[in-house]
Amino acid sequence: VKASNPLSFSLQAKMSRPVQARRLEGIEKNIWVEFVKLAATYSKVNLGQGFPDFPAPDFLTEAFTRALGEGSHMLHQYTRGFGHPPLVKVLAQFFEKLLGRDLDPMTNVMVTVGAYQALFCCFQALVDEGDEVIIIEPFFDCYEPMVKMAGGTPVFVPLRPNPPKDGKSMSSADWQLDPAELASKFSERTKAIVLNSPNNPLGKVFSRGELGLIAELCVKHDVLCISDEVYEWLVYDGKQHIRIASLQGMWDRTVIVGSAGKTFSVTGWKVGWVVGPNRLLQHLRTVHQNSVYHCATIAQEAVAQGFQRELMLYGKPESYFVQLPKELQQKRDWLVQSLDGVGMKPVIPEGTYFLVADISQFKSDVPDVPNSDEPYDYRFAKWMVKNKGLAAIPLSAFYSEAHKNNYTNFIRFCFAKEEATLKAANDILQKWKQEKTS
């Protein structure tokens, strides 16, 4: 008779215990895990995930190299937890200019590990069990799980597409909030609204009128605004990015979220920030100091130098914040042309480096999957990457479960890519067009 092993019993007993915290229930699935893997396996041209494949500006990479150099060995050590002093100082100076108000670098600015951690700090610091948070659809996907992890309830309100006038292409400006519907979402339970302008994935740049409406409702219902402005410099066709914090009654209730990843084309550096009133930021600091506490010093130093350069060149043609949108507008127009050719109707974005395109004319190309409730845009994006080698992201991934099925005729492309990458995408689309017509 084998002696029973007391160890195996105790191990088994341990493993039968539930390990997942309740706050993770229902948020395990993630679009990026699935689609990044698909793109890595099948794509020849990846216009899926949002990152530039062109180099970061020389002045920034040179600043990074200098920070690594002789005499700066302390930049390998911890710096101030709430933000490297040179970076918070220059961010304060920059935003003083943008917002037209005095800012204290130590209390009105905090540096975070990318805009992701900035958002995480906002929700953890400001949202309680039972609070409602209004999210405008389509939305950057992490807002919903972050609200839920904080114990809050997301309340969704969609931008509704209106048909374009005079047979023109649809623009992201044609996607609008219904004012009555928006107003109906505000109640005494509403703690905050998340605004993302310019908006990922549509590229919509909210107009002064639209922002005024949101601001009015925030003031009326005493609601906070988490304003994700990571694409603030990426606006096209002479459009202007308006900061909701500059509207009457909004500074005191708004946290602005920003990202060096988007601003300087260095998404891998993961330097982000929040700007806002101390009465809000003091609570974000509590979350930050008890979670990550600190962000990489060298990356902060280099971003600080990048902002010092931009402050000097503010509004001048040499400014990166002037040059980058110019280059991206050209890339947007190339992609629009390529998509038009094959019959995917693009929604022309006013901002960001994303573009969504209507794929409703391709239903006969994509085989039905029996017994699958997968939306058409998911099936299309998977089919396209496997059969054409072109990666994009289904738009319905940017909607809540309840509204997903109303928006399954679009996919999102990222056009922050080298000319050669966009040309390769064009070649795929042209070949596809020939196959369709032959």
The DSSP symbol for 268 reads G
Determine the interface stretch with ligand PMP among 11-19, 109-117, 246-254, 404-412 (rule: CB under 6 A): 109-117
Q: Shortest Cβ distance from residue 223 to ligand PMP (Å)?
A: 20
Of residues 228 and 350, the one with the C-beta less far from ligand PMP: 228
Q: Which of 245, 251, 159 has its CA nearest to residue 205?
A: 159
- Torsion-angle region of 106 (φ positive above 0: left; ψ -120 to 50: alpha; else: beta): alpha
Candidates 109, 115, 235, 295: give the one binding ligand PMP (CB under 6 A): 115
Determine the interface stretch with ligand PMP among 66-74, 113-121, 358-366, 394-402 (rule: CB under 6 A): 113-121
Write the interaction track for ligand PMP spanning residues 168-207; mark x where CB under 6 A is met and - where it is not: ----------------------------x---x-------
Give the DSSP per-residue string, 364-412: TTSPP-TT----HHHHHHHHHHHHT-EE-EEGGGGS-TTTGGG--SEEE
Determine the interface stretch with ligand PMP among 114-122, 245-253, 308-316, 423-431 (rule: CB under 6 A): 114-122
Q: Shortest Cβ distance from residue 91 to ligand PMP (Å)?
A: 14
Structure tokens at 18: 């539930």
Structure tokens at 304: 């600080």
For residue 348, the Cα-to-chain-centroid distance in whole angstroms is: 18
Distance between CA atoms of 9 and 364, rounded to whole angstroms?
A: 57
267 binds ligand PMP (CB under 6 A): yes
For residue 158, the Cα-to-chain-centroid distance in whole angstroms is: 17
230 binds ligand PMP (CB under 6 A): yes
Candidates 79, 124, 197, 259: give the one binding ligand PMP (CB under 6 A): 259
Candidates 48, 83, 114, 158: give the one binding ligand PMP (CB under 6 A): 114
CB 126 within 8 A of CB 120: no
Instruction: Please name the amino acid found at residue 1.
Output: V
Q: How many CA atoms lie within 13 A of 109 on its CB side?
A: 25
Determine the interface stretch with ligand PMP among 66-74, 88-96, 108-116, 319-327 (rule: CB under 6 A): 108-116
Candidates 35, 64, 82, 116: give the one binding ligand PMP (CB under 6 A): 116
Distance between CA atoms of 185 and 187, rounded to whole angstroms?
A: 7
Write the interaction track for ligand PMP spanning residues 123-162; mark x where CB under 6 A is met and - where it is not: -----------------x----------------------
Distance between CA atoms of 415 and 357, rounded to whole angstroms?
A: 12
Determine the interface stretch with ligand PMP among 82-90, 111-119, 288-296, 430-438 (rule: CB under 6 A): 111-119
Of residues 250 and 393, the one with the C-beta less far from ligand PMP: 393
Query: What are 160's strand-pairing partners?
Result: 176
- Terminal CA-to-CA distance of the chain, rounded, Å? 76
Contact residues toward ligand PMP (CB under 6 A) are 50, 114-116, 140, 196, 200, 228, 230, 259, 261, 267, 272
